[in-house]
Amino acid sequence: MSADVRAEGEILIVDDTPANLDLLSRMLKDRFRVRAATSGRRALATARTYAIDLVLLDVDMPEMNGFEVCRELKAHPATRELPVIFVSALDAAIDKVAAFEAGGADYITKPFQVEEVMARIEYQLRLARLTRDLARKNDELGRAYEDVRRIAGELEDTNRQLAIANVRLRTLSYLDGLTGVANRRRFDEALEEACDAANELDAPLSLVLLDLDHFKKLNDSQGHQDGDEALRAVAALLAEQTESRGGLAARFGGEEFAWLLPGLTLDAAHAEAEALRAKVRDARIRHDGADSGIVTASLGVTSAVGSSTLTPAAILAAADAALYRAKSGGRDRVESVPLA
């Protein structure tokens, strides 16, 4: 037998007849490490103590026969995977069936041929090694699978956190940093969406523009910090009104705010704008540069029923014209201009 296919391992021979032990030991010692036991009890102790790779087991032994020894081996965690080859003079089919039922891997009848014994031993050792290798690879695959699952779970958590972070970033990118209401970018997107929806549904769409009166004088007389506080206070009033009535509140630019009101007619939007104007005045926000001594607001309102011609530019122009009318008409007032 060539060295690259030579079977290696430690064989436990179990036979109560010394001559049989001697014969088998001489047959195997040149190719395998050999241990011997003359009883079933000694065989079990040896198998559990040493790193045995295969057991050659006689069937007919006193006190404890080979079938009982095999069942004990298969019942113990340390020896249950050991291949057991029965070696017996018993050649009846019932004995062979009993051997396999007890957990035997093979059965050799006496008298035996050396080549047959060697071939069966080497086959069982190779099979045992392949089984161990397969179990090891399965364990490695199992661990790798668990690693993949863990990594996938971590990636899923990371992606979820990134998604949440992206939503937060997107939300922040749509907010005005000073006042907390929507910024101009968000307003422009919402206005375009609202115009498209109004055109498709033939629904009304209103827009309110609000401008703080004499705001430059506030900054000049009290400083920009008070100006910022005034902007935040008015934005809070607008956000409060929006929460109860709906729509989108946004800082349009500088001291100017926009309130988009889908579904509202001109009269309803005018009434909402008048309520907001009164809230701003009633808040009595300090304004040393104004004759009244408080912050007031001018508001322009426009509205249109959607059609194929309703555009963001058109509704913005109409609302701006209404705001200009409110400011030129004395400020602290609401003016409406319907969109033609």
Note whether 339 and 304 are within 8 A (CB).
yes
Q: In DSSP terms, which residues pair with 300 in a beta bridge?
A: 209, 335
Active-site choice (72, 255, 256, 272): 255
CB atoms within 10 A of CB 16: 18
- Tell me how crowded residue 122 is: count the other CB atoms within 10 A of its CB: 19
What distance in Å separates the CA atoms of residue 142 and residue 1, rounded to the nearest whole number?
A: 37
322 contacts 336 by C-beta, under 8 angstroms: yes
- In 174-264, which ranges are continuous DSSP H helix? 184-201, 215-222, 224-245
- Beta carbons within 10 angstroms of residue 334's beta carbon: 26
Q: In the numeric block, which tokens belong to residue 164? A: 């949440």
Per the annotation, the verdict on 255 as an active-site residue is yes
CB 176 within 8 A of CB 250: yes
Residue 200, phi then psi, degrees to nearest 5? -70, -35
Indicate which residues carry an active-site annotation. 255
